[in-house]
Chains A and B, each alone.
Chain A
Amino acid sequence: MRIFKKQYPAIAVFLLPGLVMYGYFFALPVLQTLLDSMFYWKGLSSSVVKEFVGPGNYVHLMTKDPYFWKAFGNTVYLMAVSLVLQVPLGFVLALILNSGIRGKHFFNVAFFMPYVLSATSVALMWRFLYHPEGLINQFLQLIGLSCFTNSWLADPSTNISAVALVAVWQGAGFLMILFLAGLVSIPNEILESCRIEGAGPSQVVFRVVIPMLRPVVITVVTLVMINSVKSFDIIWILTRGGPFHSTEVLTTWMYQLGFNLSQPARGTAVAGFIFMFVLLLNVLIRKVSNKDLVEY
């Protein structure tokens, strides 16, 4: 679209209010944090002199920190599980809701319910389910599979998956409404003409719907990856990163370093690492999908 010189003021009006709000109240603090990550200090940051160490904090994290790599591994695992399970689930749910079944509202609310609840509520409820005397174990006993009962959140071989499952459960509804927003934008005429030409449902989905929703899919995939890397509340309330750091992720480790372990500088470095990691993921996704950041 061509821009006429006299449109510049209008563009400024469109951009400035949001940019100013974002810049002053959010971007500046982010910048401060990133800058701080290159300094080292002990104690309260406002009361001590910070020493410039450049990449020193990051080097320490990657070489000497006892749980950084464990946290990173868990974070990547969470991200993978979310991608593989949450995205298809959200998409399927959206398809179901868009297919004109009876009781649509009913299901809509049900599937979205987990997202409505705050992380505190979700985590507390799932603690009940995963408890040794909880529903999951009781159900297993009921159907005769009591050999599989476990302390799901305590056993290091199952707990990170158990946490990942909760994240998938809560996030599916979120993805569902994003996909729905995309689905309703597909003009009915196109779907009608496919049907008239004899395309079966799965052909319609895979050959028409998904390609049309490509930007939406990419956005959703990006969002899921970012959200899973930044995920904190659910993990913290379910397990606090434990037991013995077995479910530690980058965000919980960042929190621990900053607030419990008196390592504020290193905590800030973890934040910086998360930032760069997410940025990298974003760039990779764009490269893989061969899209410019913004495309016309």
Chain B
Amino acid sequence: MLKRRTVSIVLLIVLSAAALWAAGSKEGAEESQALTLRVLSVYTPDHAVGPAVEQINQIFAETHPNVTIEMQTMGADDLKQVLRTDFDSGNPPGVFNIWADNSNLDFIEAGLWLDLSDALAADPAWEENFLPGAIDVHTYETSGVWGLPQASFVLGMYYNKDLFAEAGIDSPPETMEELYADIDRLKTLDGVTPWPIGNMDGWRSVHLFANLFYKLNGTAAATLAAERKIRHDGPEVVDTYKAMQDLVKTGAFGNQYTGLGYADEISLFNEGKSAIRFSGSWTLGEIDGVDAGFFPFPYYRDLPQYRGDWFAGFADSWGVAADMDPALEAAAIDYVKIWTGPEGSKIFAEVAKNIPAANADVDPEKTGDLFATVVSSMSGITNSEVDFATPERSKLVADQVGANAQAVLAMEMTPEEAAEKLQQVVDSE
């Protein structure tokens, strides 16, 4: 009995140790001669851009036969965490997705990201192919270019043409007043929520807040708030909260919106159960089975000067790690060049129906009418800003802006209460 038990335990230990040692040594044996470029990206196979990844990697492989791409994809939340941990532990990826955000300065000031200005200067064709403003997005008031955008976007209103016709609306609204009237008409439709918004996903209410803020105060006011030149409990902010709650009271959002999410907005719209979707142009690839049109976010009739102030800018971007082996660094830059160049941008637009940050010779057959409508409406932009909290330095304030937007939209706080709370957070910084 003892012998058998001991023998089996010893055997187990020996086998496990052997397996462990084998696992350990396998790593060593895999030291290849070729270079490996690790790309950390949100473009999972299920992402709208997912299918483009293979094509791009193919193009890269043709010109860089001795470089292997190690594609590591995950959701945006996980990615932000992994990115931070990777850099902070000294195991950085070569190329990675980022979004323009002041918190990127943590990496930049530590010298962990590559300044792409030299690479841009060395290839004027590539540099000039970017849309205006694209390159400035990742400067964060330094003299370097710390990332390059892949996608540009505008926020606006997508609508179901059939439902509009059914409700007796001839043409989409241009002013908020017209929108209110149209919402009333849409409410008469059976089984249709005029304009559901998924308040469970925090960024939905923040986007609405920002857009209303810009139409009431202009995009420049966001920067003023960040610079503390206007107060966060001032009339600019309070009026925006009031506007949000006014919209709720029209019944536009239906009565379930507090429990719905972004995915619900998509499915309700695609099934013809909602008439309007407030979303960014990345959603072009998500609209399916509906004859959809686009109209810009309405402006206030008495504030026509803000008609051209849009919530728009650049979204998914690429960054490159600093201090890499020169050959690897060149490969990384080339990789980004392919993605953000004319060829990559074309693939990006056609596969994901997403508006790229650079000029591309897009095939209108593949991208569709709606894409063209959105792009042409962009000529109406005079000023643009991304999120209200984009120029904001303090992440705590930015976070409270979001929490407030959610609470105000859910009618859990009055405009005054919310503004006061926000100012408190601002003051405590």
Contact = CB atoms under 8 A, between A and B. Distances in A.
A64 B425 CA distance: 9
28 contacts: A43-B109, A44-B84, A44-B110, A47-B88, A47-B110, A64-B428, A131-B259, A131-B260, A131-B264, A132-B259, A132-B260, A154-B258, A155-B259, A239-B200, A242-B200, A242-B202, A242-B403, A242-B406, A243-B200, A243-B258, A243-B410, A244-B403, A245-B403, A260-B80, A260-B395, A261-B399, A262-B106, A263-B395
B260 A243 contact: no
Interface of B: 80-81, 84, 87-90, 103, 105-107, 109-112, 199-200, 202, 256, 258-260, 264, 395-396, 399-400, 403-404, 406-407, 410, 412, 424-425, 428
Given A66-B425, A263-B396, A44 B407 contact: no
Contacts of A263: 395-396
A239 B406 CA distance: 13
A260 B80 CA distance: 8
B396 A154 contact: no
Contact of A48 (B80, B84, B110, B256): B110
Contacts of A46: 88-90, 110
Most B CB contacts (10 A, CB to CB) among A46, A244, A261 go to A244
**Consensus secondary structure, chain B interface:** helix
Contacts, number: 88
Contacts of A240: 202
Contacts of B103: 262
A132 B260 CA distance: 7
Contact of A243 (B202, B400, B424): B202
B258 A155 contact: yes
A282 to B, nearest CB: 29
Interface string A106-139: 0000000000000000000000001111000000
A227 interface: no
A64 B396 CA distance: 12
Contacts of A152: 259
Nearest to B429: A64
A45 interface: yes
A229 to B, nearest CB: 21
A97 B56 CA distance: 56
B80 A259 contact: yes
A182 interface: no
Interface residues of A, number: 32
A260 B397 CA distance: 12
Contact of A151 (B105, B256, B395, B396): B256
A44 B425 contact: no
B260 A43 contact: no
A44 B106 contact: yes
A156 interface: yes
Nearest to B200: A154
Contact of A133 (B90, B256, B258, B400): B256
Contacts of B89: 46
A130 B261 CA distance: 12
A119 to B, nearest CB: 14
A25 to B, nearest CB: 13
A154 B200 CA distance: 7
Given A131-B260, A151-B258, 8 more contacts: A43-B105, A44-B110, A47-B109, A155-B258, A240-B202, A261-B396, A262-B103, A262-B395
B410 A43 contact: no
Interface in A117-175: 130-133, 150-156
Contacts of B84: 44, 259
B86 to A, nearest CB: 11
A153 B112 contact: no
Contact of A44 (B81, B107, B264): B107
B404 A44 contact: no
Given A66-B425, A131-B259, A155-B258, A47 B404 contact: no
Contacts of B412: 156, 244
B224 to A, nearest CB: 22
Contacts of A242: 200, 202, 403, 406
A158 to B, nearest CB: 11
A271 B406 CA distance: 27
A131 B263 CA distance: 12
A154 B259 contact: yes
A260 B259 contact: no
Contacts of B264: 131
Contacts of B407: 243-244
A263 B396 CA distance: 9
The 6 closest A-B pairs by CB, nearest first: A151-B259, A47-B110, A132-B256, A154-B258, A43-B106, A132-B259
A50 to B, nearest CB: 13
A260 B410 CA distance: 23
Contact of B410 (A47, A150, A154): A154
B81 A259 contact: yes
Contacts of A243: 199-200, 202, 258, 406-407, 410
Interface string A211-243: 000000000000000000000000000011011
Contact of A45 (B88, B258, B260, B400): B88
B21 to A, nearest CB: 15
B319 to A, nearest CB: 14
A156 B395 CA distance: 24
Contacts of A132: 256, 259-260
A246 to B, nearest CB: 9
B13 to A, nearest CB: 10
Given A153-B200, A243-B406, A47 B112 contact: yes
Contacts of B395: 260-263
A151 B202 CA distance: 15
Interface in A263-283: 263
A161 to B, nearest CB: 15
Nearest to B398: A261
